[in-house]
């Protein structure tokens, strides 16, 4: 019966044989070490967790450019379809501010001779396109206003977090300076969007 159990569980068999082989020795510490070594040898090591991708300056430039383009475009739709004065005013601010942030980023990457490139597996362009489709398909009215401003709260929260991560990953000091300069504007947009959403 012992033989059948040992055949069924190779790791147990290895431990048992190591233990039996060591029983004739006087040194119990050595026996324990041998058993532990046998168990360790029979147990596969866990696979290492994949490291998160490191953002390059080209990745950061592409991500921030896309975020600014998306919010500026969404603002243009909201100016046309928004019904509340707050929504229309906020949307105009988004068009103006994100266009300016995008231009500053484009000027910097041109100066630095960096070609923006999204990180592998990034789906932000598809997400932005889907959001624009949703905005364009939503009828003008209170539902549009609510949908737009709720998205702006979530979007600016995400963009602010992305900017903080990008600040830590950026290699070029001028790119870091641009992110640092833009962060208070993004925070102000978030606060304004939350204020409008709170009234709806």
Which tens digits make up the pLDDT trace of 54-110? 899 999 999 999 999 999 999 999 999 999 999 999 999 999 999 999 999 999 999
Altogether, the residues listed in the chain come to a count of 200
Please write the tens of the pLDDT for every residue from 48-63: 444 445 899 999 999 9
pLDDT over 70 percentage in the chain: 74
CA–CA separation, 13 and 54 (whole Å): 44
Residue 18 has pLDDT above 70, yes or no: no
**Which burial class, exposed, middle or buried, applies to 139 when counting CB atoms under 10 A from its CB (0-12, 13-18, 19+)?**
exposed
Quick one: 185 exposed, middle or buried, by C-beta within 10 A (0-12, 13-18, 19+)?
A: middle
Q: Are 144 and 150 in contact (CB under 8 A)?
A: no
**pLDDT for residue 3 is more than 70:** no
Give the other-Cβ count within 10 Å of 186's Cβ: 25
Distance CA 195, CA 84 (A): 14
Is residue 30 pLDDT above 80, yes or no? no
Structure-block tokens of residue 170: 């950026």
DSSP 23: T
């Amino acid at each position: 019966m012992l033989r059948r159990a040992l055949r069924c569980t190779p790791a147990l068999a290895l431990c048992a044989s190591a233990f039996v082989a060591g029983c004739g020795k006087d040194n119990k510490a050595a026996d324990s070490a041998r058993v532990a070594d046998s168990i360790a040898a029979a147990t596969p090591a866990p696979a290492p967790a994949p490291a998160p991708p490191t953002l390059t300056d080209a990745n950061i430039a592409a991500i921030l450019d896309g975020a600014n383009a998306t919010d500026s475009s969404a603002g243009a739709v909201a100016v046309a379809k928004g019904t509340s004065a707050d929504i229309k005013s906020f949307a105009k601010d988004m068009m103006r501010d994100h266009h300016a942030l995008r231009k500053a980023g484009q000027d910097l990457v041109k100066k630095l001779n960096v070609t923006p490139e999204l990180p592998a597996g990034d789906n932000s362009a598809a997400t932005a396109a889907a959001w624009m489709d949703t905005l364009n398909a939503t009828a003008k009215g209170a539902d549009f206003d609510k949908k737009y401003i709720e998205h702006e709260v979530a979007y600016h929260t995400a963009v602010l977090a992305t900017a903080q991560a990008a600040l830590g990953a950026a290699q070029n000091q001028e790119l870091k300076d641009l992110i640092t300069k833009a962060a208070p504007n993004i925070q102000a947009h978030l606060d304004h969007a939350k204020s409008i959403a709170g009234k709806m």
